[in-house]
Structure 1
């Protein structure tokens, strides 16, 4: 599971989704990528499930880059607890994605294989995703 080693603050506010992502919206490492088309909070279980699907179906010579890391703590109070008494403990770590963000990048395989693998991995995520490639960016 992906968990940050150390953070400046133990608990954070929920925050809001503002606009489309300009940071991380172009392919920087691989030739093919998975672009997010909506707003979502991806936790470490989502990322790990998608990574397992990708690595299982890719040839050994190919390379995978994960461009996101869950760094935002989400706290939750236990059930049957009355109001007040402070904020709950940290339940999970998430990464807030917005439209246009590329979360996975691939290289070292043909386009048809990359398209199929990333389509299957997108089924594991709670947000709709789109396949993108380097020729499309130019």
Structure 2
């Protein structure tokens, strides 16, 4: 009886630790990776820890990739007393697939894995309570587990507006205006 309870507590769901406990629907549309084009800076700065891992490209990250990143970070920072880790994304989108050489029709494919859509410049993991060198090394190891480019950011780094597009500066009243070429200079 006792071993059955321990086995239930230690089992993993679908070969990954990260999956929703319950969902409203079994299957979902593929969707697109969001491209922030407005003025929002949500999720682009470090909120909880001292250092963060920011994606430089939009991506659909699977629960297995996030699990690998989580285990690698935990293994690297567990030696530092008082270190903490925060995960800012969660795989909640069910991804389905049909087998190769299957004829058209017969409905949507079977469930395959959980994923999350992460837009460009979004912080996915944060760590705190350690020196910068250890955090940099941990994020370097983790970046090899992800299919996109990443960068390490510190607390206090400026947020990125939208997809990182910066509008050109408009001329102000204090700058002298250039004479137009159609009017002759006197």
Please, what TM-score do these two structures have when normalized by structure 1?
A: 0.92
Q: Which runs of 5+ in 1 are unaligned?
A: none
C-alpha contact 1:22 1:100 (8 A) present in aligned 2: no
Partner of 1:129: 150
- Name which structure has the greater RCO, CA cutoff 8 Å, separation 6+: 1
Shift of 1:60: 3.8
> How far, CA to CA, are the matches of 2:34 and 2:127 in structure 1?
28
Structure in which a larger fraction of residues adopt strand? 1
- From 29, 40, 47, the equivalent of 2:48 is 29
Shift of 1:22: 3.7
**Aligned residue-pair number:** 138
Partner of 2:26: 10
Partner of 2:125: 104
Shift of 1:135: 3.3
- The alignment partner of 1:93 has SS state of strand
Q: Deviations over 1:89-133 (max 9, x none)?
A: 110010111111100001010011101101110110011110000
Counterparts of residues 46-125 of structure 1 (less than 5 Å): 46-58=65-77, 59-125=80-146
> How far, CA to CA, are the matches of 2:108 and 2:132 in structure 1?
47
- From 15, 38, 41, the equivalent of 2:57 is 38
Indicate how the Cα distance of structure 1 residues 136 and 71 shifts in structure 2: closer, same or farther if over 3 A, else same: same
Aligned Cα root-mean-square deviation (Å) = 1.6
Shift of 1:43: 0.6
Flag the structure with larger Rg: 2
Partner of 2:3: none
> How far, CA to CA, are the matches of 1:70 and 1:19 in structure 2?
18
C-alpha contact 2:52 2:127 (8 A) present in aligned 1: yes
Q: Which runs of 5+ in 2 are unaligned?
A: 1-15, 160-186
- The alignment partner of 1:11 has SS state of coil
> How far, CA to CA, are the matches of 2:90 and 2:133 in structure 1?
27
